[in-house]
Structure 1
Amino acid sequence: MRFQVLGPVVAHGEHGLVPLGPARQRTVLAVLLAELGRVVAFDELVGRVWGETPPQRASQTLHSYLSRLRTVLDGAGGAALVRRAHGYLVETDRGVVDLYRFRALSEQARRVDDDERAARLWDEALALWRGAPFADLDSDWLRRVAVGLEGERLAAVLDRTDVLLGRGEHARLLPELTAAVAEHPMDERRAGQLMLALYRCGRQADALARYRLLRQRLVDELGSDPGPALRDLQQQILRQDPQLTLPSTVGTPDASRPPAGRRTRPHRPAQLLADVPSFTGRTTELQRLDDLLPDSAGAPRPVVITAIGGTAGVGKTALAIHWAHRVIDRFPDGQLYVNLHGYDPQQPMPAEDALARFLTALGVTGQNIPLDLDERAARYRSELAGRRMLIVLDNAADVAQVRPLLPGSGSCLVVVTSRDSLAGLVAVHGAVRIDLDLLPSGEAVGLLRRLIGARVDADPASATALAKQCARLPLALRIAAELAVSRPDDTLADLVAELADRQDRLDLLDAGGDQYAAVREVFSWSIQQLPAEAARTFRMLGLHPGPDLEPYAVAALTEAGVDQARRILELLTRAHLVHRTDRGRYGIHDLLRAYATDLATTEENDQRRWEAEVRLRDYYQAAATSAMDTLHPTEAHWRPDRPATTAVLPDLTDPGAASAWLERERFCLVATAAHAAANGSSRYAVDLARVLYRYLSAAHLTEQLAINGHALRAAERAGDLLGTAHALRHLATAYVSSGRYAQATEHGQLARTRFQHAGDPAGEGLTLLALGVAQSRMGNHKQAIDDYREAVTCFGKVGDRLGEASGLANLAVVNAWLARYDEAADNNRQALAIYREVGSRYHEGLTLGNLAEVELRQGDYAAADENLQHALSIVQQLDIPITHASILDGLGRLHIHLRQPETATGYLRQALTLCRTTGERYAQSWTLNSLGEAAQLADRPADAVAHYTEALAIATETGTRPQQARAHAGLGHAHRAQGDTDEAWAHYEQAYAIYSELGMPDAEDIRAAIGRLDGPAGPTLEDA
């Protein structure tokens, strides 16, 4: 007997179709086939057949359907409907159900190395589909399952296409791919396959046009660029990478590269925590999880959310991580993990922060991470499209926190752990929920046996009693076992008696029957065996707001020495009271954290707790200030003074050590600021944000926005005028970096007003610099010049030489755009002299690059080369990617002027890589335009068109008017070189209009270019 569910639900017997009865009866069978091999509870069947509002006699009707189906299946042979204690299942070989046959064939196709064999397997698998799954049935639950199955079909189609492309069938695939892309215009993987097919058919320009079209759609609808895989493919097409050519035409391919046509991903995150040592039991739950992967040859069920519920300490995370390691090979594209801290008393993680971390792990750079939650979720789903990944969402608070983190790809599997039932995930997303109970007594004793050893078998009764005293919670069992191991001379009976006495006394005091009372007493029992300093350290850990910590922070909390703190952390680790999260860093289970917080509240008075929190905050601010003083010493007067602290600080005098410390502590610093803001310490939140400004603004836009958002809200609540001004200024600069110039201007103007009211000329000057950059990039050059001149005046009032120089340097950039080269050179030289006077190497390198830009425009190539080489030597030492990119771009354009396009292209590609690493959108558009100029010089107009088009898209998205005009002008030149006069005229017209509007002299160059267009008379500006 064979069953079909990938289409209308049909059964085929030995003599033809088997009558399955009315639609509701077929729905019952379909549900059981969708859950083949698993017992479906009677109540579940009712809900899945009729939905949330079953008819009054649904139970009797369901019994009738089941009886009839049993008779039908028995009569046809080969399958049986079986009743179990709490439900029903269909017993049959998986190979007779088309769904499971499809999955088995798909997995075989993915595993074989022979493309011809893989193609046959894919064809056989996809031939099983006869339309939409369960097409003839009306069931909300089956419709949700069908959506996931359609995702599996899509993944199969895409994988089959990769195989066929690898076999050289690109010409045959073109109509199919063109239709698929038209139907799914935002699907990046389909677009990449069509681009590759077009390129292999000799249609490079069409392939690049497809990329431009998709990119524009993504920008318009999601506010983001294509993912790294598609960007890489576009670059390969631009440079006609031999790896895109079929191996049979280029000889033996490089063994270090994937075969042509096979999908590759530059980022394969592997974020799972280490597997749990001595994991014991949970056999039934592990089997249920295994059932989500239908069989050893099956593919993962699409977008399955396994909500592993259960009380604190019951082993939810341990089960999820242990099982994830068991099936890790099924997910070759990687694993994502995040602890959502849903029950952390300090700081549950917002979904947008989790998305930012996931996007970073998937290769999306800081400034390319959207700011809006919905946009981030959309970008996340785009990055996961078609990828086979395992995603673990640990300690979720509720459905609202989880829902934005669900992928849209049927190839991904999600495991969620939570104390909440997450009913919404089950009802709306078809999640399978596994509710963990306490460990069965035998498994609890088994865990004790693995951890303690022979003493358990020597006294099984005491071991059983100890397991009961630990409430059979794995966390408590591990702690008790460690205590037993540390006291080898005591019998288990002695330990049981001691703990029983403690719990009896607790019961007398706690008539309320707190469900955690027993396990907390296990914690207490363990902690009281510790030295006093270790016990105090443990309870002080409850005051730390960050996701993890290191010995210096612990030393600050407890006033201990760093070595002493390190020894205590190791002692607490051996006692299973903390755990290592990374080399030299430690975390604490949320139940233990809550217990530590309770201890700190009851055993430390308000004054001691307050002093400890102040010491920790002062430590973080002092260490962060030291790191920033090392990296940017001349900006120290723009930061708050380093607080006095008795805490020992790490050695951060080396730039590498300073950068590494900031990177490791980034999340703790933001969490500390957020905790301070939430608890009335607005000044601390503002000051820490000011300290971290330069570091975060360089590459960590998400954290820059987060910390200053906390600071702004806290300062507004406190009525802190100057604090709100600083937070608004930092937010303005973050919006400038992300290309959101209107928001930058709005926040900057508010900040300026507040600095004026507070009487802070330096703060006003810094704000005017940010406002000027926003105006300059929008092409409002007159306003930018006014802002920069006012900034110089503000800095002059307080004798801030670094600020004056920054105003002059920025003024030079605008004067250069307006072809006021003498003024620009003078501005740059004044700024350079001041930077050297105050010793700011960072600003010196930046200004040497700007001076070289002026010299390039004046035709003094020797001077430009000298200044660029000097600047390069400075920025390479400082490791500042965006400034490094600017200098490389300058060197590239120097070689364009020297008519050396290949050398220029080499510099510019390095620059573009750095720009994309930092995510700085303005710099990307600039360098892409430069690459277009190099390609034009090298007589590669098609490549030039591709670079200019991408530059134009970014500049249009961000509102960067000068770069829009530059891209239009470049496109005009490139289309003219290709003989496309009409297209050239259209772009020249756009360039002329923008340049004229901005008052830039480049407009005259465009007028001249229009006059050189081919044609009987050539279009004129007057014709426009």
Structure 2
Amino acid sequence: MRFGVLGPVVAYGIGGAVELGPTRQRTVLATLLVEPGIAATPEQLIDRVWGERPPQRSRQTLHTYLSRLRTALEAADGPALARRGRGYLLDADPETVDLHRFRKLVAGARSADDAVAAGLWRGALDLWRGTPFDDVDSDWLDAIAAGLERERWAAVLDRNDLLLRTGDHAIVLAGLTAASNDHPLDERLAGQHLLALYAAGRQADALAHYRALRQRLVDDIGSEPGPVLRELHQRILNQDPRLIRGEPETSRERTQVASAVVPAVVPAQLPADVAGFTGRAAELDRLDTFLSPEGGVPEQAMKIAVIGGTAGVGKTTLAVHWAHRVRARFPDGQLYVNLRGYDPEQPMATGDALARFLTALGLTSHNVPLAEDDRAARFRSEVAGKRMLIVLDNAAGVRQVRSLLPGSGSCLVVVTSRDSLAGLVAVDGAYRLDLGLLTITEAVDLLNRLIGRRAEEEPVATALLAEQCARLSLALRVAAELAVSRPDSTLAELNAELTDRQSRLDLLDPGGDPYAAVREVFSWSIHHLPTAALETFRLLGLHPGPDIDPYAVAALTGVPIDQARQNLAVLARAHLVHRSAPNRYGLHDLLRAYAGSLANLHLTRDERENATGRLLDFYRAAATAAMDCLHPAEASHRPPRIPSSATIPDLTTPDAAGAWLDAERFCLIAVAAHVAACGKYSYVVALARIVHRYLIDTHLTEAIALGDQARRSAEGTDDPSALAHALRLLGAAYSRMSQVDLALECQQGSLAHARRAGDPLAETLAYLGLGVALSHLGRGAESMAQTREAIAVATKADDALGEAIAFNNLAVLLQQHGRYAEAGEHQREALRRFRDLDARRFQANALTNLGVIETRLGDLAAAADHFDASLVILHELSTPIVEAHTLDKLGMLLLRLGDAPAASERFRQAVQLFHQVGVPAAEAGSLNGMGEAALRQGRPEDALALYRRALAMAEQIRGFHQEAQAHLGMGHVLRALDDEDRARAHFETALELYTGLGMPEADDARTALAEPTAKA
């Protein structure tokens, strides 16, 4: 059976099309087809099919739809719709679903050579039959469809590049003309159109198209074309003959280097537009006028719009709605951050916001600077010349915003704040729009849309309700939902209740608190909540994180998970919480503050502390379960498990454990900051130790943040062991980011405190961390001495894992210094110990290291076997950093075997993985490998470009070994190009570096210097 969702939802069996039933029933099938073979719980399916307004008997209706679909599929001999645990899944082969086949073909096309890729692109794009999920109704599927449309457009552009590169400009030209009308401001598409016209011998048309595009950009967004398009225009003017061969960069060297870089990221971070947006026509017109070329902003000036107003007036709603209206003018992406300026806990640090922006722009953690000023400078560099839309929501003041400004006239910044932000207006020329209350007409229109016919039938009561809500957008939405939830009451009756409550408030507050109206609407709304939902709302005010999932809610409130989900659903329908992501919820800062005040007012101190205690126990227990799944062999190096009375999600598979940690990492950091402020320092250190391996392998910026929080917390205790562990965690993160001096300082401090505490585990790990840091600094003898100390301490303490890791690290150091036989003995010992411990991740690493030693010794068959065995384990574990090392070393082996093309591909894969996880030293090493492979294939210019890239990266991080490799490789390339003087200079630098490091490659440099006439 075949299924289609890239258009209307269809299914085809042996007998033809299968009848799939009504819209909601097809929607159920579509949600299962998005993730075939993965079980979805009834709650997830209800949320995906109906969103925030499920019918009263949604579970029974869902079961009816599932039963009908099962019958229809069985009758057509289709895949089983099965029950798995608490969920349902469609046991369909992804190859039979057009969505997944499209993605597989696209991935294949991007990695295949041009001859094969052409057919794959054609097959992928032929699968599209219109708009995905075109005939079903679901907010969740709408979001999936929007992402798929972006995937399709990226595929179209990549396919166009291929056709132009292979000389098939005639095929692509007709489609480009139509696409340019649909995407008039897409500069990548425009560049393809120019190139196709020029390749077809239509230089004049190409130049005319450029002039028309330039005028459109200036007219619509007040910006010149970007540098790439301007360069292409100049080359067309100069009739550059290389353009006909489809090389849009200035040289083959640049094209080859670009192939080693991860493609540019186009972020799309805007929240979903608000349903039922009403009014604000005058404000939208004013914003449109500001953005227009006639809006008075100089062409090259930075464009900043500040939307100000009181809490709950609708600043964010307006900003997001307008941002969606104008997003097409900013094809390089949209960035969004909620700065939480008036959050009851604390505003977001500007440095954290910059780190999130830089990560969204494609930077890996090691490229994100540590200091806020450096992050701000890097951010300005990353967005310079790009047409980007940046929304800074809920800012506390100018100081929080200043470093987040791009400094580029091509960008638009939208800021919302209760503060006047006078400094932005006076100094930066920001346009300020003060958002007042909705007009009575707008407020009534909003209530009419949200409540429906009842509001239209009671116009007087509706107008009074609008005034009772102070015409504040947030209060109006809360009140409207309450009215909808009570269909048997008239609006007049509801108004009478609210009037009575507000009259009592006025007697208590004759001063007219400006927030009194909205607070009283909240009070009125929660007055009608079921008791369980009300208790949940109060306790949510105690949660310190940016959002929360149902399991954490269950822990906080002390109720079963199903009850927690039901309570969240009630609160979501009442607009007291909002969905921030699938299965996650957040609170508007006013509601968050209100919930916190209710908790303080209605709950005793013991009740609040018990709730917080349950939450902290939940996070620690869940984090431990996730890490035990991902890295079970390291359980002895983490704090012991603690019991939790709350239900822990199923984290027994690597995918589930990794997904939970990804979703919760910001909450975990917020929890750590909160409990540190409360003086619970030991909890912070324990949490940091638990999730350390996950963060250091995937999110180095967060690893630094949590490690630093643990260090500061440990300094507030009299526990030297806690400080030793905290410094060790922070030092390890600094080492991974190649901040070696900071790493060395932390590990030295860790060792001193571990000795003072008499903690052998902390002492072993500090010695290991010292060994790594000293190795990065080229201090090999000291590094080996520290690693041998780790072996001694671990052996005495009966720490089997620490001992095995130390043997592994010592083997690597011995191999680097040419002591291959001794290295092999230690590596085999480490491998044996890892096998005894069933430490499969470490086994894979040891097998890779053993393969490197055997490659050096010339035992290539044994090396190949060990690399293969390592990759088998890594494919099961999905461990990118170890896999990258293995691919890199396999590339070395293939070079020894004389297969340079295959070696180049392995090095390229390693570069991509190292870049993804953020390991710059290793990335530089793989770039050196690519350079050697290119030279052996007779491409010296490409080799030189790759070596230069490796050298620049190595010099930046003080990666002396990689620096020496790059100089040696550049010497061989320059000798091949008959530039003997420059070649000898590089050989001499390599010899000096290798000698200082005490590495055997010094002999290679000496040999090269002794043969001045030899060719590489």
Normalised TM-score (structure 1)? 0.77
1:14-53 equivalences in 2 (<5 Å) = none
Q: Is the 8 A contact 2:835 2:843 kept in 1?
A: yes
Shift of 1:392: 0.9
Structure 1 residues 291 and 955 mapped into 2: Cα distance closer, same or farther (>3 Å)? same
1:267-319 superposed Cα distances (whole Å, 9 cap, x missing partner): 22111111111111111111111112317999998521111111111000000
Task: Check 1:536–1:153 CA distance in 2 against 1; reply closer, same or farther (3 A cut).
Answer: closer
Match of 2:766 in 1: 767
Are the counterparts in 2 of residues 302 and 412 from structure 1 also a CA contact under 8 Å? no
In 1, the alpha carbon distance for the partners of 2:331 and 2:537 equals 40
Q: Residue 137 of structure 2 corresponds to which residue in structure 1? A: none
Residue 483 of structure 1: aligned partner = 482
Q: Would you say the 8 A contact 2:289–2:295 is kept in 1?
A: no
> Which residue matches 1:235?
257
2:582 corresponds to: 583
1:253-332 equivalence runs, <5 A: 266-294=264-292, 302-332=301-331
Counterpart residue identity of residue 906, structure 2: Y
CA distance in 2, matches of 1:929, 1:754: 40
What is the aligned partner in structure 1 of residue 58 from structure 2? none
Q: Which amino acid aligns with 1:269?
A: P
CA gap of 1:238–1:335, structure 2 versus 1, over 3 A, is: closer
Contact 2:256 2:942 in 1 (8 A): no
Q: 1:493 to 1:703 in 2, by over 3 A?
A: same
> How far apart are 1:710 and its partner, in Å?
1.5
Answering whether residue 189 of structure 2 is matched by residue 119 of structure 1, we say no
State the shift of 1:781 in Å. 0.5
Structure 2 Cα separation of the partners of residues 874 and 198 of structure 1:
42
User: 1:696 & 1:840 partners in 2: Cα distance?
Assistant: 19
Aligned AA for 1:964?
Answer: E
Residue 819 of structure 2 corresponds to 820
Which position in structure 1 is the counterpart of 2:503? 504
Deviates more, 1:293-302 or 1:392-401: 293-302
Supply the distance in 1 between the matched residues of 2:235 and 2:881 (Cα, whole angstroms).
38
TM superposition shift of 1:375? 1.9
Is 1:631 matched up with 2:665?
Answer: no
| Residue equivalent to 1:674 | 673
Equivalences for 1:449-488 in 2 at 5 Å?
A: 449-488=448-487
Contact 2:185 2:328 in 1 (8 A): no
Call closer, same or farther: CA 1:789–1:351 in 2, change over 3 Å.
same
Q: Which residue of 2 aligns with 1:355?
A: 354
Residue 571 (structure 1) aligned with residue 641 (structure 2): no
RMSD between aligned residues = 2.8
User: What is the CA-CA distance between 1:621 and the residue it aligns to?
Assistant: 0.8
Q: Deviations over 1:463-489 (max 9, x none)?
A: 222111111111111111111111122
Which residue of structure 2 aligns with residue 778 of structure 1?
777
Distance, in Å, in 1 between the alignment partners of 2:301 and 2:263 is 20
Aligned to 1:51: none
Distance 1:118 1:613, change over 3 A: farther
Tell me: CA distance 1:856–1:107, structure 2 relative to 1, closer, same or farther (3 Å): closer
Q: Secondary structure at 2:291's aligned position in 1?
A: coil
The C-alpha deviation readout for 1:553-597, integer Å capped at 9, x for no partner, is 000000111111111111111101011111111111110000000
Q: Secondary structure at the match of 1:338?
A: strand
- What is the 5 A alignment of 1:708-787? 708-787=707-786
Amino acid across the alignment from 1:859? G
CA spacing shift, 1:120–1:687, aligned 2, 3 Å = same
CA contact (8 A) 2:257 2:946 kept: no
* 2:692 maps to 1:690: no
Which residue is equivalent to 2:338?
Answer: 339
Any idea what SS the aligned residue of 2:420 has?
A: coil
Q: Secondary structure in 1 aligned to 2:306? A: strand
Inter-partner Cα distance in structure 1 for 2:765 and 2:407: 43
* Residue 676 of structure 1: how far off its partner (Å): 0.9
User: CA-to-partner distance for each residue in 1:480-526, whole Å, 9 max, x for gaps?
Assistant: 11111111222211111111111111222234432212211111111
Take 2:815 and 2:237, find their aligned partners in 1: how far apart are those partners?
53
Equivalent residue number for residue 600 of structure 1: 599
The question of whether the paired residues in 1 share the 8 Å contact of 2:222 and 2:292 is answered with: no
968-977 or 552-561: which moved more? 968-977
- Identify unmatched segments of 5+ residues in structure 1: 1-105, 130-147, 174-192, 209-232, 240-263, 1019-1024
Please tell me the residue identity of whatever aligns with 2:231. T
Equivalence for 1:559: 558
Q: CA deviation at 1:158?
A: 5.7
Show the 5 A alignment for 1:563-962: 563-962=562-961
1:844 positional shift? 0.4
Alignment map for 1:977-1016 (pairs within 5 Å): 977-1014=976-1013
Equivalent residue in structure 2 for 1:162, among 219, 232, 250: 232
Counterpart contact for 1:126–1:156, Cα < 8 Å? no
Give the match's secondary structure for 1:268.
coil
SS at match of 1:270: coil
In structure 2, do the counterparts of structure 1 residues 237 and 495 end up closer, same or farther at CA, with 3 Å as the change threshold? closer
Answer whether contact 1:306 1:431 (CA < 8 A) is retained.
Answer: yes
Maintained 8 Å contact 2:715/2:723: yes
Contact 1:301 1:413 in 2 (8 A): no
1:389-408 equivalences in 2 (<5 Å):
389-408=388-407
Q: Find the residue that maps to 2:304 and give its secondary structure.
A: strand
CA distance in 1, matches of 2:464, 2:259: 69
Q: Give the aligned partner of residue 216 of structure 1.
A: none
Amino acid paired to 2:275: P
Query: Matched residues in 2 for 1:122 and 1:997: separation?
Result: 55
Give the Cα–Cα distance (whole angstroms) in 2 for the partners of residues 682 and 706 of structure 1: 15
Matched with 2:513 is 514
Could you list the per-position Cα deviations for residues 639-686 of structure 1 after superposition, in whole angstroms to 9, with x for gaps in the alignment?
Answer: 111221101000101111111111111111111111111111111111
Give SS of 2:643's match.
Answer: coil
Query: How far, CA to CA, are the matches of 1:1003 and 1:281 in structure 2?
Result: 74
Relative to structure 1, the CA distance from residue 890 to residue 649 in structure 2 (aligned partners, 3 Å threshold; closer, same or farther) is same
Output one character per residue of 1:734-765: Cα deviation in whole Å (capped at 9) or x when no partner.
11011111111011111111111111111111
Contact 2:186–2:331 (8 Å) recurs in 1:
no
Helix, strand or coil at the partner of 1:929:
helix
TM-score normalised according to structure 2 size: 0.77
Matched positions, count: 819
CA apart distance, 1:632: 0.5
Task: Specify the alignment match of 1:67 in structure 2.
Answer: none
Q: State the alpha-carbon separation in 2 of the partners of residues 158 and 998 from structure 1.
A: 42
User: CA separation in 1, counterparts of 2:186 and 2:665?
Assistant: 44
Q: 1:950 to 1:612 in 2, by over 3 A?
A: same
Distance in 2 (CA, whole Å) between partners of 1:996 and 1:868 is: 30
CA distance, structure 2, for counterparts of residue 506 and residue 710 of structure 1: 43
Matched position secondary structure for 2:403: helix
> What's the offset of the Cα at 1:328?
2.0
Flag the 1:557–1:958 CA change in 2: closer, same or farther, 3 A: same
- Once the 2 structures are TM-superposed, how far is the Cα of residue 440 of structure 1 from its aligned partner? 1.3
- Structure-1 separation of matches of 2:871 and 2:214: 56
Q: 1:107 to 1:846 in 2, by over 3 A?
A: closer
Q: Is the Cα–Cα contact under 8 Å of residues 947 and 970 in structure 2 kept in the other structure?
A: yes
1:108/1:724 Cα in 2 relative to 1: closer, same or farther (>3 Å)?
closer
Aligned counterparts of 1:265 and 1:996: Cα–Cα separation in 2: 37
Q: Is the 8 A contact 2:450 2:477 kept in 1?
A: yes
Residue identity (%): 51
Greater gyration radius = 1
Rounded to whole Å, the distance in 2 between the matches of 1:697 and 1:127 is 48
1:875-896 Cα shifts (integer Å, max 9, x gaps): 1111111110110111111110
